[in-house]
Amino acid sequence: MKILKQTLLWIFALAILICIGLYIPDSSLVSSQTGSRLLPIYCVETDRPVVALSFDAAWGNDDTAKILEILKKHDVKVTFFMTGGWVENYPDDVKAIAKAGHDLGNHSENHKEMSKLSPEECKDELMQVHKKVKKLTGKDMCLFRPPYGDYNNTLITVARDTGYFPIQWDVDSLDWKNYGVQNIKTAILDNKHLGNGSIILCHNGGKFTADALEDVITGLQDKGFKIVPISELIYKDTYNINAEGRQLKS
């Protein structure tokens, strides 16, 4: 009886703490829109057989031209998330990406762990590269991928307040590990998360990424998927994000 009373008292105290916000439930149990933890978009709820390919551009540039050639050959549009340093070092490639009709995405100025930054520092990281790309291409970016996939409520709030949709991924090519072409193909095409609305992470600087790209494109198409840029995949207005990071149309 004593144990039962102690249990009931603990439950009652916990309920009070939740109500007044001193206790936060596990983030996997709460919605990004209504719970305590804000989430970026990992994938999209859709009945359409569409997926989005994305490339983070933070280091290297040996294969960007080859990647663009393959994408052009297959008439596929993707999204490139670029750091400020990459934009500065390869301005002609930034222009080429824009001219080819691909999404230009923000990957921060200095590729820092942004969950450790203040709101002002987060905004500066976003706006420095935003201005550089705007000056080069005349385009205002609206897609942002946090470096290392690292984020917190502060970063998500700042990104949204500056007009950005924070974007993650639900399919990782693991191309940055440089295991080889077949590993990239398997990581994407046999991924258990691959489905309608998936966002696929690649890197333009991966050692084997360009060599695997054509087979990845045809493999996705053979599975019935159309490849679209993230800007055409996500919902721009009246949406929610569930506990797994899936964007839902309201």
Catalytic residues: 56, 203
Task: Give the span between the Cα atoms of 72 and 66, in whole angstroms.
Answer: 10
Count of helix runs (H) and strand runs (E) in the chain: 9, 11
Four-CA torsion 60, 226, 141, 138, nearest 10 degrees = 90
Q: Which residues, in sequence order, are CB contacts of 11 under 8 Å at separation 6+?
A: none
CB neighbourhood size of 142 (10 A):
19
Give the span between the Cα atoms of 187 and 183, in whole angstroms: 6
In DSSP terms, 239 is beta-bridged to 249
Compute the distance between CA of residue 18 and CA of residue 85 in angstroms, rounded to an integer. 43
Answer yes or no: are the C-beta atoms of 221 and 50 closer than 8 Å.
no
